[in-house]
A = this chain, B = another copy of it.
Amino acid sequence: MKLLEEKIILEGNVLSDSVLKVDRFLNHQIDPELMLSIGKEFAERFKNDQITKILTLESSGIAPAVMTGLILQTPVLFARKKKSLTMIDDLYHSKVYSFTKQEKTEVSVSKKLLNTNDRVLVIDDFLANGQAALALIDIVNQAEASLVGLGIVIEKTFQNGGDQLRKNGIRVESLAQILSLENGRVHFVHEEVKQ
């Protein structure tokens, strides 16, 4: 997605060979117009898949997920990292290890909001080692719902999360694929457009 790649070049910040900071438009400050464009792109890619629910993880997945839900006209469910006192229902649980936060977090989804009839699109801001994606997929499986695929805003292809998921037959649609962050520069994967 050209608009997103341009934004990454213009406003992203390469902190190291593995860390890209996008806090000016995605995970601290959010550019709502860009999020709408991202939502439209995900919606276009999954428009024929009868999605009934979008699942994401708080917090940075929420904005792109909500815009996708707006276009696809489906509810958006975000897995919570901390239990609120109002989460009194039966819950699905899974665990996510975050390399950027260096800790393991339990994530939860209310059982009443995800079930076997759902066709689920998982959306997240980043795909690197795939830890968050695996936890969300685990929850989809616990609910015996159908996983349609993953919509990822930024994939770091030099980490192996995306490869592993695709090898397991999971459809992964990434709007920007980063081949490397070496020498302080962002290098994108550019593939032929598949029709």
Contacts and interface: CB of A to CB of B under 8 A. Distances in A.
A162 interface: no
Contact of A100 (B75, B76, B84, B101): B84
B78 A23 contact: no
Contact of A15 (B15, B82, B86): B86
A23 B113 CA distance: 9
Nearest to A31: B75
B113 A29 contact: yes
Interface in A66-113: 66-67, 69-70, 73-78, 80, 82-88, 100-102, 109-110, 113
Contact of A23 (B19, B27, B87): B87
Interface of A: 15, 19, 21, 23-25, 27-33, 35-36, 58-59, 62-63, 65-67, 69-70, 73-78, 80, 82-88, 100-102, 109-110, 113
Q: Give 3 closest A-B pairs by Cβ, nearest first.
A: A58-B59, A32-B70, A32-B69
